[in-house]
Amino acid sequence: MNRDILLLQSPMSFDTFLRQPEHDGKIRHVVVTRDDRIVGVLRPDTGIRHGPESSNTGVTPGDVASRDFEIAHEEDIMFGVIGRMWQRRRDDGRGSPRKW
């Protein structure tokens, strides 16, 4: 299991985050928080940079983070996690149950 997960506060500039040299152009797993609460998740490719170093888009990690995530504990069985994801989508009206 990949344990290389970063925690970012939402007010931080996404441009500043992408320019940090310690990312070394890797795809990172990022959990975005605001006031000690998870607001979303990201998997940005930090090797992709657009525009000059001085440019600033004004985008924060919270603006682009996906709010569609499921928290899974290390000891969870993945069938159970996937089942919870399907149930949540069905309850939200975004998915439909499969009929076998």
Edge-to-edge strand order for the sheet containing 37-42?
5-9, 29-34, 37-42
pLDDT digits (tens, 9 = 90+) for 28-49: 889 999 888 999 999 888 887 6
| Beta strand 37-42 pairing with 29-34 | antiparallel
Q: Using only C-alpha atoms, what is the Rg of the chain?
A: 17
Give the residue with greater pLDDT, 27 vs 88.
Answer: 27
How much is the average pLDDT of 62-80?
79
